Amino acid sequence: MKEDVERIRQSDMGFPELEVLEAYKKAPVITVGEECTQPQECRKCMEICATKVFVIIPDAKLVPHTRYPLIREGFELAAAPEAMRVVAAEPTVCTLCMACVRVCPLQCITIETPSK
């Protein structure tokens, strides 16, 4: 997959390289552990989060066999619950209420507060 992405990057599309914003680097680091394998059935962290930090997406590692694993296959293979993962896509809006940490039945969400 990495080779594919690299090939696309160097091909005729001419994508500009984007830099991660400074504000994003200062945001809390929210990680969801690998124990979370059935997020579509649970959805507890997604539902309790007031600012909707979490997004459910297909795991690239489990659907690596196409050119667009995250998108094309992703939404189609979304039917396969074991291929889905929860990620904290918008840590920049996290207000550190810690509700997701408390609600997770697997206790697998950790939040590292940003260093000032």
**Helices (H) then strands (E): counts for the chain:** 6, 4
Please answer whether residues 32 and 88 qualify as being in contact, where contact means their C-beta atoms are separated by less than 8 angstroms.
yes
Give the chain's length.
116
Q: Which stretch binds another protein (CB under 8 A): 28-36, 45-53, 103-111?
A: 45-53
Q: Which stretch binds another protein (CB under 8 A): 28-36, 39-47, 106-114?
A: 39-47
Residue 29 sits in the site that holds another protein (CB under 8 A): no
Please answer whether residues 51 and 93 qualify as being in contact, where contact means their C-beta atoms are separated by less than 8 angstroms.
yes
47/54 Cα distance (integer angstroms): 9
CB of 16: closest distance to another protein in angstroms? 8
Residue 74 sits in the site that holds another protein (CB under 8 A): yes
Q: Over the range 67-77, which residues count as b (16 or more CB within 10 Å of their CB) and which as e?
A: eebeeebbeeb
Residue 52 sits in the site that holds another protein (CB under 8 A): yes
Residue 87 sits in the site that holds another protein (CB under 8 A): yes
Which residues bind to another protein, rule: CB under 8 A? 5, 8-9, 13, 15-16, 18-21, 23-24, 27, 40, 43, 45-47, 49, 51-52, 54-58, 67-68, 70-72, 74-76, 78-79, 81, 87, 89-90, 92-93
